[in-house]
Structure 1
Amino acid sequence: MATMGALRWPQVLVAVLAAVVIAGAVPAALVGGKGSRVTVAVPAPPAEGVGSSTVELSADAAAHPMGDAVRATTQRHFDAINAKDYVAWTFTVVPERVKEQPEAVWRKGYRSTKDGTIQVARIDRLGPDRLLMLVYFVSIQEPADAPPNLRAPRICWRAAFPMIGSPPLIDVGRAGSLQYTAC
């Protein structure tokens, strides 16, 4: 009997390992197919304020070949907003976005805004020189400067920003690419 149990142990181990691999592969195929990456949870906002203004990458975003370039552009983007530096901001976005937000409009939109707890959670390749970045961040602002449907002093944001080029610039997004809630 002891010999038979010793012979069955490798078979049982192989069966258990196969079940674990299949259990992980089937849901991955169902939710995203080949190459799908699962992202981390939304970062918790700080107890008050916006937290650090340093852009962080999730493990998933850091593993992307363009992770460092995306982080650098995103850092310059949020630094420009926090410093109220329109010219610096224009170097982080495509020209069409600059045309949509001339300096007077941009200054009015960001006049009391400060952003922090910034995390790039995911980066997906959309095509040659085209990326989609999922980013979470916290903003504080005067309630009058918040979105019209959420006049809150502090907002937690989830944004999907398309990016284009090398180094990547933030492109014009589609409606619905921003989600936000008071926090």
Structure 2
Amino acid sequence: MSAKPRWVLPVVLLAMIATVSAGIVARQLYFDPDSSPVAVLPSENQVPPDEQPGPATVEATKDAADHPLYDDLRGVLQAYFDAINTRNYDQWRHVVTAGRVKEEPERKWRESYESTRDGTIVMWRIETGANDSARVLLSFTSTQNEDKAPIELPLGCLRWRLIWAFVVEDGAWKIDVGETNFIPQHQGC
């Protein structure tokens, strides 16, 4: 058994401290605040009635924003809500699966969403599944003519909470059909 020189431990500790310090300095120098996701805090603050449905930009909690699929799924959701708000069926059908398009052909889609405006959109949580699938816990507010609201809650303003299924189809993430998509929780604004 050989004796180690006494200077090895202090040198190793000094090297470790220098490495950690250099990492902290580099992080501060190269940190770009514009590249980090903007997370919202869950809040009970409500958009005033005359400003419903609120902003149309998809936001996220920290939990959702920290998920590796956040950017991809947020982009799909933003395109989806933009399509509804601008009545752009072609844009909408590019971010949903073929099964979803089959269930909502253009005429039916236009009739369903002719008065709808969506806003105050928040991604709360993202969970990945098997075979390129994911689920997003989502909330948003919709305004619409009362005759276009769900039969069980015919109101002009609704707050929705639901889980949407996503799958990879044709090499891109898309919103899928699924039981969770059709069992939303909603209440009047």
- Normalised to the residue count of structure 1, the TM-score between the two structures is 0.75
RMSD: 1.5
The answer (yes or no) to whether the contact 1:45–1:156 under 8 Å persists in 2 is no
* 2:10 alignment counterpart: none
* 1:8 alignment counterpart: none
Structure 2 residue runs of 5 or longer lacking an equivalent are 1-40
* 1:45 alignment counterpart: 46
Displacement of 1:95 in angstroms is: 0.3
| Total equivalences in the alignment | 144
Displacement of 1:54 in angstroms is: 0.4
Displacement of 1:170 in angstroms is: 0.3
Deviation string, structure 1 residues 89-127 (Cα, Å, up to 9, x no partner): 001100000000000100111010000000111100111
Deviation string, structure 1 residues 10-36 (Cα, Å, up to 9, x no partner): xxxxxxxxxxxxxxxxxxxxxxxxxxx
User: For 1:1-183, what aligned pairs fall within 5 Å after superposition?
Assistant: 41=42, 44-48=45-49, 49-165=52-168, 167-174=172-179, 176-183=182-189
Query: What is the distance in 2 between the residues matched to 1:80 and 1:45?
Result: 24
The answer (yes or no) to whether the contact 2:148–2:154 under 8 Å persists in 1 is yes
Query: What is the distance in 1 between the residues matched to 2:43 and 2:142?
Result: 15
Displacement of 1:128 in angstroms is: 2.9
Displacement of 1:159 in angstroms is: 1.4
- Normalised to the residue count of structure 2, the TM-score between the two structures is 0.73
Please say which structure displays the higher CA radius of gyration: 2
Structure 1 counterpart SS, 2:179: coil
Structure 1 residue runs of 5 or longer lacking an equivalent are 1-39
Which portions of structure 1, spanning 4 or more consecutive aligned residues, are displaced by more than 3 angstroms? 40-45
Structure 2 counterpart SS, 1:168: strand
State percent identity of aligned pairs.
Answer: 37
